[in-house]
Amino acid sequence: MSQINNSSFSNSRLINWFKLSSPSTFYPLAGKLIPLFWVLAVVFGAAGLWVSFFVAPVDAVQGQGYRIIFIHVPTSWMSMFIYLMMAAWAGLGLIFNTRLSAMMAQALAPVGAWMAFLSLWTGAFWGKPMWGAWWVWDARLTSELILLFLYLGFISLQASIDNPKRADKAGAILALVGVVNVPIIYFSVKWWNTLHQGASVSLTKAPAMAQTMLWGMLLMTLCLWMYSIAVALMRVRAIILERESHADWVRQLSEVKN
């Protein structure tokens, strides 16, 4: 009796989330979503670049060199945001023991690492003309560098353990412990006296910059966000095929059949 009730309960749900968390249902869904996110990334990217280079006025102090902000801030935001997403997926995998969650965390790690790298790279190319140094051991820069190392540590830890279940568990613990670094990056400019400028956008104060500059940064962030989703979905499909290569549903896929 209770069994019947249970099944009718789960069928009455609009979307069965646990069914979606199975790789065999998620794989075709991800395939359909990827083009959508690519289109969004291109649209937001075109609009963002247009605002960054043709609408936003020249800065009174930094001249045209300040335009690096339109790529530096979005990559920095995404590097932190992707880390939180990655840790959340890894944590879900640890709690519910769902295969797909761990694969999502694994798919997000490289794109997050690239964002952290680009944040440091564009920061160096901004710091050189404005501060006179490519790199300083400043709180914000150092904590962002640690974030890059956390990503690289997660990737290499997972790669070094042969048993996928154990690799997922070890990676999840590393990812969750590393979360503590994200607020440190965010608040570093407040907690320490640093060379890096304070937050350019604040939720509590009116933005300390021209509206058009804010729009440029937001559009570029949306572009990178959509790009990250598209790339993570592409990578998770590859990971699913690699890990589930012996499952029956993989053999029935049209792209795999001869």
Partner 1 sequence: MWNSSAEFFAMGGYALYVWSSFGACALILLLEPLSIRARFKSIVRRLKQEQLAEQFDKESGQ
**Footprint on this chain of partner 1 (rule: CB under 8 A):** 53-54, 57-58, 63-65, 67-68, 71-72, 75, 110-111, 114, 117-118, 121-122, 125-126, 128-129, 227, 230-231, 234-235, 237-238, 241-242, 245, 250-251, 255-258
SS3 117: helix
* Amino acid identity, position 54: F
Half-sphere exposure of 163 (CA within 13 A, CB side): 4
Closer residue to partner 1 (CB): 57 or 193: 57
User: C-beta of 242: minimal distance to partner 1 in Å?
Assistant: 5
Distance CA 215, CA 137 (A): 31
Q: Which CB sits closer to partner 1, 73 or 182?
A: 73
Least separation in angstroms between CB 195 and partner 1: 17
**Contact 75/119 with Cβ under 8 angstroms?**
yes
- Closest to partner 1 by CB, 26 vs 227, is 227
DSSP 58: P
Nearer to partner 1, 78 or 150 (CB): 78
* Rounded least distance, CB 114 to partner 1, Å: 5
DSSP state for residue 186 in the 8-state scheme: H
Q: Smallest distance from the beta carbon of 190 to partner 1, in angstroms?
A: 26
Instruction: Name the packing angle between helices 99-131 and 211-243 (round to 10°).
Output: 140
Q: Counting Cβ atoms within 10 Å, is residue 7 exposed (0-12), middle (13-18) or buried (19+)?
A: exposed
Rg (CA), the chain: 21
Q: How far is the CB of 175 from partner 1 (least distance, A)?
A: 20
Distances in whole angstroms, Cα of residue 155 to Cα of each of 101, 107, 160, 236, 248: 15, 10, 9, 14, 28
Nearer to partner 1, 140 or 237 (CB): 237
Query: Closest separation between CB of residue 144 and partner 1, Å?
Result: 15
Which of 94/225 has CB closer to partner 1?
Answer: 225
Residue 197: CB atoms within 10 Å: 11
Nearer to partner 1, 122 or 143 (CB): 122
Least distance in angstroms from the C-beta of 76 to partner 1: 12
